[in-house]
Amino acid sequence: MDILYLMILCSVSLAAVFLVVFIVYARKGQFEDDESPAVRILFDSDEIKEKEESGNKEGDDEKGENKKIEEKSE
């Protein structure tokens, strides 16, 4: 029966430690990232297209056939 009290004490103290760690990191802003890097990788192609459109137009002439190949592959 004594081991039961020891196990309850250990589990409650471990839960308290996890709660304190969670509160500390929540205050530091660890969990404020709404869009994780794993999800952001799915939207990278749109950002690249926007950068290319707003980029230097003279650079488009230099690409030549490479640009045509890229357009066909999309």
The dihedral through the CA atoms of 37, 43, 48, 50 has a sign that is: negative
Q: What share of the chain is helix, strand, coil (3-state, %, to 5)?
A: 80, 0, 20
Domain of 14, in residue numbers:
1-29
pLDDT tens column, 12-49: 999 999 999 999 999 998 878 766 767 777 775 655 56
Helix (H, G, I), strand (E, B) or coil at 68: helix
Within-domain flag for 68: no
Within-domain flag for 16: yes
The pLDDT of residue 17 is 98
Within-domain flag for 55: no
Choice between 8 and 33, residue whose per-residue pLDDT is larger: 8
The pLDDT of residue 13 is 98
Within-domain flag for 59: no
CA angle 74, 61, 71 (to 5 degrees): 5
- What is this structure's pTM? 0.46
Within-domain flag for 57: no
CA gap 61, 67 in Å, rounded: 9
The dihedral through the CA atoms of 46, 51, 57, 58 has a sign that is: negative
Whether 60 has a pLDDT exceeding 60, the answer reads no
Within-domain flag for 73: no
Within-domain flag for 48: no
The pLDDT of residue 16 is 98
